[in-house]
Structure 1
Amino acid sequence: MTRIPTALWMTLAATMGVTPALASSTDWFETQGGRIRLVTSGGPDAQGRIAGVLDIALDPGWKTYWRDPGDSGVPPSLNISESSSNIASAELAFPAPQRHDDGYSKWAGYDHSVSLPVTFTLTSPGQAAMIDADIFLGICETVCIPVQAQLLLDPAIDPDNAADAALVSQAVNALPAPARPDFGAAIVSTDDNRLVIEAKLPEGAASADFFIVGAEGYSFGTPERIGSDGRILFSVEILNRPKDIPAQGGLHYTLVTSSGSVSGTLPYL
């Protein structure tokens, strides 16, 4: 698969467009290799949050990226533009990815259509809102196509649409479960250049892969599984790390097995 250098993605956006704010979901935005739309469902909850999805429909043979694709590629992003009203933030969530090796590099993503849950938080709960979202993502076949679109919607127009509610519910249910002591990951050793992760798997799991997200100045190589006395270990190269350890948060990870997947955080190092 031919890759476009990251620095060129924004200037080489293949397609741009705006969909009108006529409903609580946008029309499909068509692009080479697939199409995208934004969907919301239901009114805001007690905390002023509205549930939705970034719906990515891929043509056969096309792929898209996970939240941290690896050493090349750009993860899907959704940013709220200044023309939105009463929207404080938007946060994407990601189902478990797959590991891909195209002969050029190993990367994390999806080789099928995928719906990414998104949570919109209102600035003032109880007040009307309008969502104007700038979307940027890459989809790939033999070459990678950067896709940029502006999607507009009014979440109050049709909040009880049954099809939209089913899509949002299905996407949320497809997310990895929270990690737990008997199914999750922990750091067992680290030095300046590498960390070793031990994975705990559910009984009967026949395979496992580990994905870690670089953020706050951290970036990582592709985790490689290593064997040690029956333990399930992954060696991860540390490519970059900040001078100072962040005071809050942690390193997000997803552990994918044949018996399901979980996500959690590891302490900064």
Structure 2
Amino acid sequence: MIRLAIAFLVLGTAVAWSDPGPVASDWYQGFNNKARLLAGTATRNGDPGLYAGVEVTMPEGWKTYWRSPGDAGGVPPEFDWQGSDNLASATVLFTAPHRMHDKAGDVVGYKNGVVFPVAVKPVDPSKPVMLHGKIAYGVCKDICIPAEAELQLVIPPDVGTSEELTNVLARVPVALPRPRIDPTLAGWRLDQNNGKPKLVLNVETAELATADTFVEAPGGVFVPLPKRVTDASGKAVFEVDLTDGVDIKDLKGKPLTVTMIDGKGQSETTITLE
């Protein structure tokens, strides 16, 4: 009888401490892509929280775009959470993108598939969140096709841990770079010699071969993609031509987001052209 009681105690403890697991919606099938929502408790920068993810998969060779699509243009994703219930806020994050060469020029985004993580804040954490999203994005191979998905997922208050979302969040650029892992902005300057202004960025990186940089302005103001011009003592040097489709007056005094990636990590920082 004592052994039986112990067995029931152990079993009851295992059930009480079992993780109910993450949740996911059905796939929404589109043309040459499909999308779904997933959700769970995940960890970012050591802090646990409630996260969802918009997962888009595409056939081999297809791509979709980052929030800033690049010089050749493209369709940045848009997210509408109206119609959700018990949702105070849903903040979309973006994993580190990649530069890709297109017939029309360079674009920035993701090949074959991507998960856009979403930080979810309930109005009442003790109740389920009914997450309803209308997602618009572009999928491209030889041509670009606008895509839309309407997705819905109920997230219980005791939703379990999502290792997948934790891994996705590890690829979101950080404001506080990890020493000797994430690339960092070692220095920058605005060069206005000969009346041809350019922004020069010195990116310190442990992976020179894979280092890349992107610059964004607020309000949808176009900023050309940085071009890598040289490498010097552990730094990749990039230049942004501020005469190429942009008026420098539209950028001065505004915060510019600099996103840096390489084969080991990613980070982002803000600079202001005075």
TM-score by length of 1: 0.76
Answer yes or no: is the 8 Å Cα contact 2:41–2:48 preserved in 1.
no
Partner of 1:255: 260
CA distance in 2, matches of 1:64, 1:219: 19
Tell me if the contact between 2:50 and 2:120 (Cα under 8 Å) persists in the aligned partners. yes
1:215 partner amino acid? P
Q: What is the deviation of 1:189?
A: 2.4
How far the C-alpha of 1:48 sits from its partner, in A, is: 11
Distance in 1 between residues matched to 2:107 and 2:172, nearest whole Å: 19
**1:232 has 2:232 as partner:** no
In the alignment, does 2:205 pair up with 1:208?
A: no
Q: Going by fraction, where is helix more abundant, 1 or 2?
A: 2
Report the secondary structure of 1:171's partner residue: helix
Tell me the equivalent position of 2:165.
Answer: 168
* Local SS of the residue matching 1:42: strand
The C-alpha deviation readout for 1:77-134, integer Å capped at 9, x for no partner, is: 22211x2122232222222222112121211111222212111222344444321111
How far did residue 193 of structure 1 move? Answer: 4.2
SS at match of 2:66: strand
For 1:268 and 1:216, the matched residues in 2 are separated by 15
Q: Which has the higher contact order (CA 8 A, sep 6+)?
A: 1
* Alignment RMSD (CA, Å): 3.1
1:255 aligns to what SS in structure 2? Answer: strand
Shift of 1:196: 1.1
Which residue of 176, 179, 186 corresponds with 2:177?
Answer: 179
Q: Which moved more, 1:84-93 or 1:144-153?
A: 84-93
Check the 8 A contact 1:95/1:175 in 2, yes or no. yes
The residue identity in structure 2 corresponding to 1:74 is V
| Cα distance change of structure 1 residues 228 and 140 upon mapping to structure 2, 3 Å threshold | closer
Larger radius of gyration: 2
Equivalent in the alignment of 1:139: 139
Could you tell me how far 1:187 is from its partner in structure 2? 2.2
- Give me the whole-angstrom Cα distance separating, in 2, the residues matched to 1:244 and 1:228: 27
The residue correspondences of 1:1-269 to structure 2 (distance < 5 A) are 24-42=23-41, 50-71=50-71, 72-81=73-82, 83-156=83-156, 159-160=159-160, 165-177=162-174, 178-179=176-177, 183-185=183-185, 186-191=187-192, 193-202=197-206, 205-227=208-230, 230=233, 231-238=235-242, 239-240=246-247, 242=250, 245-246=253-254, 250-258=255-263, 260-269=264-273
Say if 1:86 and 1:75 are closer, same or farther in 2 by CA, change over 3 A: same
Q: 1:160-182: CA deviations, max 9, x gaps?
A: 2x6xx132122112334543676
The one-letter code of the counterpart of 1:28 is: W
Aligned residues with identical type, % of pairs: 27
Output the CA distance in 2 between the equivalents of 1:56 and 1:215: 26
Provide the rounded CA distance (Å) in 2 between the counterparts of 1:124 and 1:242.
42
Secondary structure, counterpart of 2:268 in structure 1: strand
Do the aligned partners of residues 234 and 57 (structure 1) sit closer, same or farther apart at CA in structure 2, a change above 3 Å counting? Answer: same
1:39 CA drift (Å):
0.8
Structure-1 separation of matches of 2:231 and 2:163:
44
Question: Which digits, 9 at most, give the CA deviation of each residue in 1:186-238, with x for residues without a partner?
Answer: 42225584311111112x54332112233235321011011276552111134
After superposition, the C-alpha distances for 1:125-169 in whole angstroms (9 at most, x for unaligned) are 444432111101111111111111221111118822x6xx13212
